[in-house]
Structure 1
């Protein structure tokens, strides 16, 4: 019981950290991956840096978006999930 009593606070701390920090981050990453895989040509998006555009081409890890000033090639991970979802609900 003495050794268990010594390690119990550390075990509880790890459990709290896992529940409140690691688990939500893993869920967020999974959701972002699903969002990236659901993108298709023609979707209106906003990048994390604030560019608005429409997807013109998609490859494995990149997307070409059409903006008012031309085309940009960006990483799929640079597309903001939150802003793009907000845009799609305004349609």
Structure 2
């Protein structure tokens, strides 16, 4: 076991620069592999390019169905909810304020949050409609 470590080190030190050249060239050839076309150096072509991009395409499709599509669906539902707000709806704002809509003036809502306490907020600040 000890000789497995010592002999390659001794050989490396005795051969010097030649050993370094061989060490790196062997690694490069091992990583590059042998040419498939009898040494001509030409590679696969269009099929090879497609297969190299296939994992990237697959990852994009997975992200679309797991992240992008559900998020756009939620955004569409939220926009629909904001468009259908009406006087008397019990709502909660994105800041966590609970109240009842008293008046709607375009994109500005007047919300009653307690007796004699009313605030004005933008329509986009509404997080949802309460059902209780």
- Structure number with the bigger relative contact order (C-alpha 8 A, sep ≥ 6) is 1
Q: 36, 52, 61: which one pairs with 1:6?
A: 52
Q: Does residue 61 in structure 1 map to residue 107 in structure 2?
A: yes
Q: Which residue of 1 aligns with 2:29?
A: none
Contiguous gaps of at least 5 residues in structure 1 = none
Q: Which moved more, 1:27-36 or 1:60-69?
A: 60-69
Q: What is the number of equivalent residue pairs in this alignment?
A: 85
Q: Does residue 38 in structure 1 map to residue 84 in structure 2?
A: yes
Distance 1:2 1:50 in 2: 54
Structure 1 runs (4+) greater than 6 angstroms displaced: none
The TM-score normalised by the length of structure 1 is 0.83
Write out per-residue CA displacement over residues 2-56 of structure 1, whole angstroms, 9 at most, x where no aligned residue. Answer: 0110111111111111111110110000000010011101111121212121111
Q: Which residue of 2 aligns with 1:74?
A: 121
Over the residues paired in the alignment, what is the CA RMSD in angstroms? 1.3
| Matched ranges for 1:13-28 at <5 A | 13-28=59-74
Contiguous gaps of at least 5 residues in structure 2 = 1-46
